Amino acid sequence: MTGKLKVGIVGGTGMVGQRFVQLLDQHPWFEVTGIAASSGSAGKTYEEAVQSRWKLAGPIPEAVKNIIVQDASKVEEVAAQVDFVFCAVDMKKNEIQALEEAYAKTGTPVVSNNSAHRWTPDVPMVIPEINPGHLEVIAAQRKRLGTSSGFIAVKPNCSIQSYVPALHALADYKPRTVVASTYQAISGAGKNFTDWPDMLDNVIPYIGGEEEKSEQEPLRIWGSIVGGEIIKASSPLITTQCIRVPVTDGHLATVFVSFENKPSKEEILGRWLQFKGRPQELGLPSAPKQFITYFEEENRPQTKLDREIERGMGVSVGRLREDSLYDYKFVGLSHNTLRGAAGGAVLIAELLKAEGYIQAK
């Protein structure tokens, strides 16, 4: 394991924390050396802490079974054992903000799966293929926090991954108005069908806070750095509806879009096929080789068939056609706990390492 960066997972016993553990098993750059959770799990081995509530397919990785879970609130103790941490905790917003800043002030980079710091002006919220330049705001954040090496970077909401990449690839045509409805898996609520039997044979047309995030977070991703802060973009105008549907994993979106400069269908398909970002240029371990895959079949992408494309890190698009009210409409799909959650955060960490922001202590 020599040469690998030492990783801590704060909130490692929850569903997203479990996914981090699974994704980091045998990772070429990172090794999990610390796991922290609530005081109720502290002192147990990781296997003891999660065995009765392990939610993922496949067993608990052998490499982490005997790691002693630490108390996440004992920041100095956890931080002393690792080079950086992933954070995926279930706490109140102000408590998460304070906890993540406490870790950062110890000189420990924090890659967060939480929403608490998504609108902190000097915290980059990153989809690595789309806005890697926002990492430059870290310098201002470090100055504010009084640290030369610690910082916080966050991953955006899982639902927007299903349509923002497809729109971003068409930025030259200036999307003007967007209507998106997302059909979101129950794992986005940290649950499976055993936990949530009411979701069987059911659709719930409301997910608290999700529509505001889906409308506003893309504008921050498309924003610009001004005076050490990220200022959100003013367009396109986005409106959404977010619906919970009875599938295990995968968020699907139906999207309507109008442009200032309407492209042809061939131009759109060409941009999607050719689109690459910084992760592809760098050959990062978790990066999909083909970020956006277009399906010609009328009945694709399908959640069950296509959510695992590119190991769950790719985005699938289909059913592109002209619309009677908008210029075009299409369907997008992304894996919410891989690309949208833990996998997206691991890719951010890989980008941060490659760009020199995360180093061994």
CB distance 30 to 349 below 8 Å: yes
Helix (H) or strand (E) holding 50: helix 46-50
In this structure, how many other beta carbons lie within 10 angstroms of the beta carbon of residue 285?
A: 14
Q: Which of 257, 251, 254, 240 is nearest to 170 (CA)?
A: 257
Helix (H) or strand (E) holding 334: strand 328-334
Q: In what order do the strands lie in the sheet with 84-87?
A: 70-71, 30-37, 5-10, 84-87, 109-112, 151-154
Q: Which of 242, 253, 251 is nearest to 204 (CA)?
A: 242
Q: Given 117, 168, 251, 335, which residue is catalytic?
A: 251
Identity at 197, one-letter amino acid code: P
Length of the chain: 361
3-state secondary structure of 348: helix
Q: Given 158, 168, 242, 335, which residue is catalytic?
A: 158
Cα 208 to the center of its chain, rounded Å? 18
Q: Which of 313, 283, 290 is nearest to 161 (CA)?
A: 313
From residue 159, give the alpha-carbon distance in Å to each of 52, 91, 119, 146, 186. 29, 21, 17, 34, 12
Active site residue 335: no
Active site residue 251: yes
Which residues touch 79 (CB under 8 Å, ≥6 apart)? 8, 85, 103, 106, 107, 108
Its sign, for the CA torsion 266, 269, 275, 280, is negative
CB distance 83 to 5 below 8 Å: yes
Q: Which residues are catalytic?
A: 158, 251
